[in-house]
Structure 1
Amino acid sequence: MKKKNLFLRSTKTLYTLLFVAMSTLIFSACTEDVEPEPENNIVETLTDLGGYDSLLKYVSVYPDLVSILNSASEKTLFAPNNAAFASLLETPGFPQDIRDINPDIIKGVLSYHVVPGQEILEAELSGELVTAYNGETIKVNNGTLETGATNPEITLGDTDIKTTTGIIHETNSVLIPPSVGASLTPILGTVSGTLLLGANFSDLAIAIQRVDAARTERGDTPFAAILANRQGSYTVFAPINQVFEGAGIDPETANVGFLEAVILNHVISGENLSSTDIAAQLQGGNNILTSLGGDVTVSPTEFQGNPTLSIGGAAVVSPDNVTGNGTVHAVAGFVSSNSNSYTTVLLGSQGSAEASFYDAVQNATKGYAASRDASATVDFAYYWGANNLNSLGSIDSEDLHTVFNSVDLPIEGIFATRNATRFQVTELGAADFDAIVTNAQVSGIANSELTSQPDATQLVEGNVVAFKLDDARGGLFGLIKIAEVNDTNGTGSITIDVKVIADAF
């Protein structure tokens, strides 16, 4: 009988046990290395983690940002924690409540934290990463983030947090886009910073930016730079957003000359005046302050039942916003200096019974017969041209002469002053014209139109025309709104609203 080899039997048993044990260990190890698939999107994950309440609150204001974070496409989010936002608000000169900051700036900063199209693990962070909205880059510097703002080393907290809609890296600072950082740092704590960052002044900020682009192009110092001068001293009466909205003025599209004139009329240079300082100067009556655009009258008034100041007819609604180089007073209206005179003038075309001629200096209409007087002065006339339809023409206009001669009303040799008025049809709408209240606005807009034509032709209701008188008539600027056109050929009439600078009267 063959004996069983006990050694071999026990060895096989041992091998079997070892194999089972190793398989179990290997299986266990593999099981431990496999991470569970994430179940929540970015917003849900941040909510569950806690510590990101500020980020979630600010992002929630912008539904399109929430949609981007929760979209199925790959992305990387650098998520500032609560401490990061608290630190930002402690920056000297920065508004203490983020709700007081221009919403467009907040949205731009938030969007700078999202890198679209890729989920980047911490170990892969290198080079430059393009952000979602503005194309600016986030630079990695020895494991930290370099944004080009005041803090060149933004450290990371928890990293590689996976979600169903992207990957999250916690940051211990708020990332500031380089373009914002470059423009933000010089203005913090100045009048310029209050106007450009303030949520209540976002329309004014757009106006300043558009005007500054024009000023830079022509070689003038931008308003933002002037009002950021820490050695200067300024008092600004700043119209709140509701003023632009109420007047129907869109700062994105309004005439730049008009906007520049508005800004000039709201700034006092060389004096930092509190509401108490201004009230003390009233001495029981009105007081005159000189802005960059002209004199403004200060008087006591009420706003919503509370006593306050009226600055050029605009009630002060939030006084004494003090900065390092001046004070900003929020006002509920456009500040008016010497109000320009305006009227409604009815002009008849050649051969009609209505007065055809207009004296812009005296704000008077005159008929053909009255205009023959040697002492008469006229600046332009209304006529119906065969080719150019409803027209306003300077006295030296060949077209105007031709038309009046054709009806046996010759102009040559009649007028004591043959003014070379020049016109330009503007891009202003009727609402823009109606909102103009100051001399500076009239001259600023008309001057910006570079008036050059002896005729303003093919006029229709709602057109706004700029005009300039020649030097013999004072070189005065004015604006005309075409209110109504009666287009009866040869005997029709036109109704115009005229605004000229008040000093003309």
Structure 2
Amino acid sequence: MQALNAQQSLVRLLLSYVVLGIAVVLLQGCTDPVSVPAEEETSLAATSSATADAKMGPGQAAGTQDETIAGIAANTPNFSILVQALTEAGLVETLNGDGQYTVFAPSNAAFAALIDELDGVDSAEELLALPALKSILLYHVAPGRRFARTVTRQKRINTLNGAFLFVDETILTDANNRTSEIVGVDIAARNGVIHEIDTVVLPPLN
């Protein structure tokens, strides 16, 4: 009888150890970190990178510290009319120099819209022949290196033309109460920074 009781006690003890062992295994399974396959990690990284690029927007670019403002403009097809205008006005040397400038650069579409807007101007050639061309271009240039976070916090910006541009976040208002939107920002150059705008701003022309 005693032997039978001893065997039963031993069985109960063994069962207790088995149950305890199973509980430990289950607990470890709950607390172990979930591993991500290498392929999935690569996919997640690529998705994060793509999302960051998308937030930059099509008009934004890092630029290059090795090129000048004039050099970057010359290598950007969307600024080809601007480059022609700068050449005609004799301002390429200025924007190739050592000074620091912020340029609000109108796109080709912006110049095309200006041709439609101005009376007596029917082509890019006539636009480039305007006596006020240099004054108009200088109205797009401000002294100093001003990235978007600085520009959008200002109320007005003094330009090399001598007249002010008025700022409301990404909207510029010129001296004629016309507006232009900053559509591309922080194209960094060795001698300043370029922001692309969708409308040519005009200084006082009287």
Normalising by structure 2, what TM-score?
A: 0.63
Is residue 73 from structure 1 mapped to residue 102 from structure 2 by the alignment?
A: no
Q: How does 1:413-492 map to 2 (within 5 A)?
A: none
3-state DSSP of counterpart to 2:183: coil
- State percent identity of aligned pairs: 25
Alignment match, 2:176: 149
Q: Per the alignment, do residues 44 and 114 of structure 1 end up closer, same or farther by CA in structure 2, a change over 3 Å counting? A: same
3-state DSSP of counterpart to 2:132: helix
Match of 1:58 among 82, 85, 93: 85
Match of 2:73 among 21, 34, 46: 46
Q: Give the distance between the partners of 2:157 and 2:197, measured in 1 at CA.
A: 16
Q: Give the distance between the partners of 2:65 and 2:77, measured in 1 at CA.
A: 17
3-state DSSP of counterpart to 1:52: helix
Q: Deviations over 1:309-365 (max 9, x none)?
A: xxxxxxxxxxxxxxxxxxxxxxxxxxxxxxxxxxxxxxxxxxxxxxxxxxxxxxxxx
1:130 maps to a residue whose letter is N
Q: Give the distance between the partners of 1:130 and 1:95, measured in 2 at CA.
A: 28
Is residue 128 from structure 1 mapped to residue 156 from structure 2 by the alignment?
A: yes
Q: Give the distance between the partners of 1:158 and 1:167, measured in 2 at CA.
A: 11
Q: Per the alignment, do residues 45 and 92 of structure 1 end up closer, same or farther by CA in structure 2, a change over 3 Å counting? A: closer
Alignment match, 2:199: 173
Q: State the number of aligned residues.
A: 142
Q: Give the distance between the partners of 1:36 and 1:82, measured in 2 at CA.
A: 19
Alignment match, 2:11: none
Alignment match, 1:106: 133
**Superposed displacement of residue 37, structure 1:** 5.7
Alignment match, 1:139: 166
Gaps in structure 2 of 5+ consecutive residues: 1-61
Q: Give the distance between the partners of 2:112 and 2:189, measured in 1 at CA.
A: 26
1:149 maps to a residue whose letter is N
**Superposed displacement of residue 156, structure 1:** 1.0
Tell me, yes or no, if the aligned pair for 2:164 and 2:175 is still in contact at 8 Å. no
Q: Give the distance between the partners of 1:175 and 1:36, measured in 2 at CA.
A: 23
Alignment match, 1:465: none
Q: Give the distance between the partners of 2:130 and 2:78, measured in 1 at CA.
A: 23
Q: Per the alignment, do residues 88 and 100 of structure 1 end up closer, same or farther by CA in structure 2, a change over 3 Å counting? A: same
3-state DSSP of counterpart to 2:84: helix
Q: Give the distance between the partners of 1:123 and 1:92, measured in 2 at CA.
A: 33
2:166 maps to a residue whose letter is K
Alignment match, 1:95: 121
**Superposed displacement of residue 36, structure 1:** 8.9
3-state DSSP of counterpart to 2:104: strand
Q: Per the alignment, do residues 173 and 123 of structure 1 end up closer, same or farther by CA in structure 2, a change over 3 Å counting? A: same
Is residue 160 from structure 1 mapped to residue 186 from structure 2 by the alignment?
A: yes
Q: Give the distance between the partners of 1:94 and 1:150, measured in 2 at CA.
A: 21
Write out the 4+ residue segments of structure 1 that deviate beyond 6 Å after TM superposition: none
1:111 maps to a residue whose letter is L
2:184 maps to a residue whose letter is D
Alignment match, 1:199: none
* Structure of greater relative contact order (alpha carbons < 8 Å, 6+ residues apart): 2
Higher helix share: 2
Q: How does 1:192-211 map to 2 (within 5 A)?
A: none
Is residue 86 from structure 1 mapped to residue 112 from structure 2 by the alignment?
A: yes
Q: Give the distance between the partners of 1:104 and 1:145, measured in 2 at CA.
A: 24
Q: Give the distance between the partners of 1:37 and 1:43, measured in 2 at CA.
A: 12
Q: Per the alignment, do residues 75 and 60 of structure 1 end up closer, same or farther by CA in structure 2, a change over 3 Å counting? A: same
3-state DSSP of counterpart to 2:137: helix
3-state DSSP of counterpart to 1:145: strand
**Superposed displacement of residue 148, structure 1:** 2.5
Gaps in structure 1 of 5+ consecutive residues: 1-34, 184-505
1:114 maps to a residue whose letter is V
Aligned alpha-carbon RMSD (Å)? 2.0
